[in-house]
A and B are shown apart, each in its own frame.
Chain A
Amino acid sequence: MDMKTLLLLIALAPLAGSIVAGLFGWAIGRRAAHVVTIAGVAVSAILSLKVLSGFVFGHAPVFNEPVYTWLTVNGNTYSVGFQIDALSALMMAVVTSVSLMVHIYTIGYMQEDPGYQRFFSYISLFTFSMLMLVMSNNFIQLFFGWEAVGLVSYLLIGFWFKRPTAIFANLKAFLVNRVGDFGFLLGIGLILAYFGGSLEYRDVFAMAPQLAAKTIELIPGHAWSLMSVTCVLLFVGAMGKSAQFPLHVWLPDSMEGPTPISALIHAATMVTAGIFMVARMSPLFELSDTALNFIMIIGSITALFMGFLGVVQNDIKRVVAYSTLSQLGYMTVALGASAYSVAVFHVMTHAFFKALLFLAAGSVIMGMHHDQDMRNMGGLRKYMPITWLTSLVGSLALIGTPFFAGFYSKDSIIEAVNQSQLPAAGFASFALTASVFVTALYSFRMYFMVFHGKERWKLNVHEHEADAHDEDEHHHGLGPNDNPHESPWVVTLPLVLLAIPSVVIGYLAVGPLVYGDFFNGAVVIDAIKHPALLHLGEEFHGATAMALESLRSLPLWLAAAGVLAAWIGYMKAPQLPDAIRRRINGVYVLLVNKYYLDELYFAVFAKGSRWLGNAFWKIGDMLLIDGLLVNGSAAMVASISRLTRRLQTGFIYSYAATMILGVLALMTYWFAPLILR
């Protein structure tokens, strides 16, 4: 099988599965629907691993070819093409393998759902879209994949479309993402306008160095660096998709979707599309320090402040969601420090352990009969041993325990930021280090509340908060006399399979991926201006040494302190958090209300745009369009059709007369000079 066929197969197998399950799901039944989609994704995953192994165990040549030319306009070709290098191969492998796990898990999780086939069709469609995004070799296809994953995400957040909260959440995700996409599209527009008219990465990157010093005047009199404007605009797109402050507000609400989706789309893959995109565009971003500083600031704010919010959440999925936000902040900071390989490395490790945590959370939710409130849980380790162990592994990986996957990526990011010489690095370094403590705190708060302590559902304190999905039809909760039970094997198997890479992948991959030459050619770093990664490489002496050295470093002790704090607060002295809460009530209220950002957006943007929309509607629609254009043109159309209807009498002779008149008119027009002479 040649490379082209192989790649086409990788991309199209999930699409085929999706089409079959989506269009013919009603005919083939539930079982066949999941068999066919899983088969499609499995083919894709196996072949992706094969492609990746070509890059890992040998230096496979970069594949960069169009596979299909859609159209050619004025010499510009718009084609579907694949650029497969180390970066995209790694992303493909992560996307397809996590997707495969989620597919399998879904069999158990969605067992009783009436939209079973629809769900499988959606997640396979998502896999296809995400593959198109990462495999693209041009901006058009990137944008297609970008929008397609957004669309599927929208559909899946609102999967339970009868819940008002789900509809609200998916609309919110959709609108917030439009803000990001607007910036992204503007960025692509600038590239189209200034980079020689081609939208292929290859051509654009080749042009970039010549344009490094070029300035443009978007507002007359203010000359801005073209590269900075373009990069910041592109990054605005990444902020929307990767939920960076202040466009992060949609991600926690997206937890309204089924849990497998939260794992696949809102933790492991889609939200990392922004990170991937910036890494892919490294030849552009390297040329703009302004953009890199901007990225680092945004990333640090996200990492620290979203972590705080995780501490006060009681919904198990929301804790993981805020943790995802915070981790995305880490990745973004790594991008800002020009440590693209570290960012992508964290994308990979995070994909595994965060998918694991989400799926474990889903397993807990199933065990609790769809109760998501951690205040009703406790002591679950007795009843759900596999879920308990795998969750522990995931949490350890997340907080950066040495030798676990998260440790290597996270520690590398912090080190890279410390080495960065950009002005924003100081703040970023502080924010990331501080949030190590926060991460450990909320992770183990969740862990202890769920798996240890009293079996609180037996206390029958079902005091639901308003946001705990009371309208949820799946929401039953566990009675005081019931006991949770371990989930079926289709649920635990993916947990175990994800737990393995969560432990070992960091140890195995950190050397070649971050400090080796794996990404050479795939990402570009200006080593003179941004030497962080270079310095890091000089200090790296192997994975084991790195883990041992960390014993002497601050982050590890901060993490340990976080775990300890969680243990004291939620195991040893449960009254303590309440006491603290009372003491600093103002801060608590601020956190519970998520810094009032939602309220701000509602008051300013939602209300403002509704007011604007209303005004446009009144003036534009009612007066101009309806009044003049629609009604006016309708009146015109009506009068024209009255006229033609009068001609269309149904009598042959009037038809014949029309024809003759037509001939007469043509003849008169063409021979007017001859006749009139």
Chain B
Amino acid sequence: MNWATLNLMPALPELFLLSAVLVLLVIDMLLDDERRGVLYGLSLATLAGCAAMQYLAWTPVPVETFQKMFVADPLSGVIKFFLYGVTAAVLIYTRQYVADRQMFKGEYFTLTLFALLGMNVMVSASHFMTLYIGLELLSLALYALIALRRDSVPATEAAMKYFVLGALASGLLLYGMSMVYGATGSLDIATIARVIASGNGNTVLLVFGLVFLVAGLCFKLGAVPFHMWVPDVYQGAPTAITLMIGSAPKLAAFVFLTRILGQGMEALLSQWQGMLMIVAVLSMALGNLTAIVQTNIKRMLAYSTISHMGFLLVGFLTGNAEGMSSAMYYAIIYVLMSLAAFGVLLALSRAGFECEKVADLKGLNQRNSWYAFLMLLAMFSMAGIPPLAGFYAKFAVIRAAANAGMVPLAVFAVLMSLIGAFYYLRVVKAMYFDDAEEDAAIEVRADMRLVLSLNGLALLALGVLPQQLVALCMTAVKQSLTSL
């Protein structure tokens, strides 16, 4: 190791983020409860700083550092920009909610930023070891965040379930990784890819490991049959934390999937394609069908997430640039949609009242037509109704599957999106055609109002003008996965 040659530039955002978290930890000690709001401002400033650092560290071609354990490429760059934005939106949306529920503590911010750091590490990992450590960093922070409201029994239970099942999934993942290591003699993703491509790997061991890797990955995505934690955790966690679990980590999980399967195991495409196809079909079917009977909107959105992950996999499993970039586009749009949907739920919740039943949205249009409209945008987008972004995202993954010759899968996906439209429209019906059951004023902080409105309108804008983002995803995928 020669310090003179250690290039820290690509990891600038991560270094900045870690330093900022440490500083925040110290500042937190000096603050009393009244001035805790300072941390909110500092956290947002940290995210802005990260984005600035990311801009400085931008690279059009993959650059490796830290002994090839860290890689900065357009894929990670683009995703990280979205991670910062999404995390900032999460903090803004949840500000009032956590303050009303005695969760407005320094740890809330530091844990959130730790989770972000974990995601950053995952996104930039070029080595199984850093992938795994990043994942654990993210997961640990999330477990703690769910349980942060200690007096809430459902939250504690949700944290417990997530923790135990997450540990099991990590075990599966590690077992799979050890098999791959056994077959290729390396944990470095590029080396693994090279060994497999050269035919020197032990195929039985590789596929055996692949089964476990896919299981672990699908757990993180929340795809069937590794989805069982999703509904319970979504429902049990405080809505603010549900938003956090349901948004940014999905982007990181997508990159996780891309790094392991798309980059490392690319030569085994024919194997994991079949596995993911089964998982995707099951996810779309079970997610959509079960969502129909849910009355708790958080639980409904959990099942909707499961089906969305199925759609994402439909694009991903084609294994070509078109499919991967459409999956990336899907992941980004999905995150924007769930941000908007949960954002409205958070806006409607207040001290002593949790908005989490579909019935709680009744007559929202009479109470506040703008939030009803934003929710309408989110629901229509999730249902895939043109001209919203969700439509184009679904269209892109389905087209990618059809172009790759998987017509039955594409047809099935279309059918499932039709069934899915039903339960989203139920929410719209409740908002617009039912009478309000309560008339409490909806009070929302100005910053949240602004960001939430922009968020909702972005769904419309990206549906009408998808081309730029699609092109960005395409470039990112093509530049980063050089084998495509």
Contact = CB atoms under 8 A, between A and B. Distances in A.
Interface of A: 68-71, 73, 637-638, 640-641, 644-645, 647-648, 650, 652, 654-656, 658-659, 661-663, 665-667, 669-671, 674
A645 B294 CA distance: 11
A662 B208 CA distance: 14
Interface of B: 160-161, 164-165, 168-169, 172, 204, 207-208, 211-212, 214-215, 218-219, 224-226, 228-229, 231-232, 271, 274-275, 278, 286, 289-290, 292-293, 392, 399, 464-467
A343 B423 CA distance: 52
Given A71-B466, A663-B212, A670-B207, A648 B231 contact: yes
A652 B161 contact: yes
Nearest to B169: A659
Nearest to B163: A652
B467 A662 contact: no
Contact of A644 (B215, B274, B286): B286
Contacts, number: 79
B397 to A, nearest CB: 14
A669 B212 CA distance: 13
B289 A663 contact: no
A656 B168 contact: yes
A659 B219 CA distance: 8
B286 A637 contact: no
B289 A641 contact: yes
Contacts of A654: 228
Contacts of B212: 663
B81 to A, nearest CB: 24
Contacts of A669: 278
Chain A to chain B: the 8 pairs with minimum beta-carbon distance, closest first: A662-B225, A655-B228, A641-B293, A663-B215, A666-B211, A667-B211, A644-B290, A640-B289
Contact of B228 (A69, A659, A663, A670): A659
B225 A659 contact: yes
B208 A667 contact: yes
Given A71-B467, A670-B207, A659 B161 contact: no
A3 to B, nearest CB: 21
A655 B229 contact: yes
A582 to B, nearest CB: 55
7 contacts: A71-B392, A637-B292, A641-B293, A652-B160, A659-B228, A663-B215, A669-B278
B224 to A, nearest CB: 8
A133 to B, nearest CB: 18
B289 A666 contact: no
B164 A656 contact: yes
Contact of A663 (B160, B172, B290): B172
A666 B293 contact: no
A71 B386 CA distance: 13
Contacts of A659: 165, 168-169, 172, 215, 219, 225-226, 228
Contacts of A641: 289-290, 292-293
Contacts of A656: 164-165, 168
A240 B63 CA distance: 62
A453 B278 CA distance: 85
A655 B219 CA distance: 11
A645 B278 CA distance: 21
A665 B274 CA distance: 13
Contacts of B292: 637, 641
Nearest to B231: A648
Contacts of B465: 68
A32 to B, nearest CB: 18
A662 B165 contact: no
A31 B286 CA distance: 53
A480 B278 CA distance: 83
Contact of B211 (A68, A637, A661, A663): A663
Contact of B215 (A640, A655, A666): A666
A665 B218 CA distance: 14
A80 to B, nearest CB: 10
Contacts of A658: 225-226, 228
A73 B219 CA distance: 34
Contacts of A662: 215, 218, 224-226
A12 to B, nearest CB: 13
Interface centre among A70, A658, A662, A663 (most CB of B within 10 A): A662
B265 to A, nearest CB: 14
Given A69-B467, A658-B225, A666-B214, A671 B208 contact: yes
B168 A674 contact: no
Nearest to B175: A663
A671 B292 CA distance: 36
B253 to A, nearest CB: 16
A24 to B, nearest CB: 10
Given A637-B292, A641-B290, A674 B204 contact: yes
A661 B467 CA distance: 42
A641 B422 CA distance: 15
B228 A637 contact: no
Contacts of B168: 656, 659
Nearest to B164: A652
A671 B211 CA distance: 10
Given A637-B292, A640-B290, 18 more contacts: A68-B465, A640-B286, A640-B289, A644-B286, A644-B289, A644-B290, A647-B228, A655-B161, A655-B229, A656-B165, A656-B168, A658-B226, A659-B165, A659-B172, A662-B224, A663-B211, A663-B215, A666-B211
A26 B165 CA distance: 51
Nearest to A24: B370
A494 to B, nearest CB: 33
Contacts of A661: 225
A650 B232 CA distance: 7
Contacts of A655: 161, 165, 228-229
Contacts of B207: 670-671
A666 B214 CA distance: 9
Contacts of B289: 637, 640-641, 644
A123 B168 CA distance: 62
Contacts of B172: 659, 663
A645 B296 CA distance: 14
Contacts of A71: 392, 466-467
A652 B275 CA distance: 25
Nearest to A660: B168
Nearest to A73: B399
Contacts of A645: 290
Contacts of A648: 228, 231-232
A645 B231 CA distance: 11
B377 to A, nearest CB: 13
A140 to B, nearest CB: 13
B278 A666 contact: yes
A670 B271 contact: yes
Contacts of A647: 228
A669 B210 CA distance: 13
B204 to A, nearest CB: 7
A404 B289 CA distance: 69
A638 B275 contact: no
Nearest to B172: A663
Nearest to A634: B292
Contacts of B231: 648
Given A652-B164, A656-B164, A670 B211 contact: yes
A637 B278 contact: no
A638 B294 CA distance: 11
A230 B37 CA distance: 68
A670 B275 contact: yes
Nearest to A661: B225
A662 B232 CA distance: 19
B203 to A, nearest CB: 11
B68 to A, nearest CB: 31
Contacts of A637: 289, 292-293
Contacts of B164: 652, 656
Interface centre among A647, A650, A659 (most CB of B within 10 A): A659
Interface centre among B212, B214, B215, B399 (most CB of A within 10 A): B215
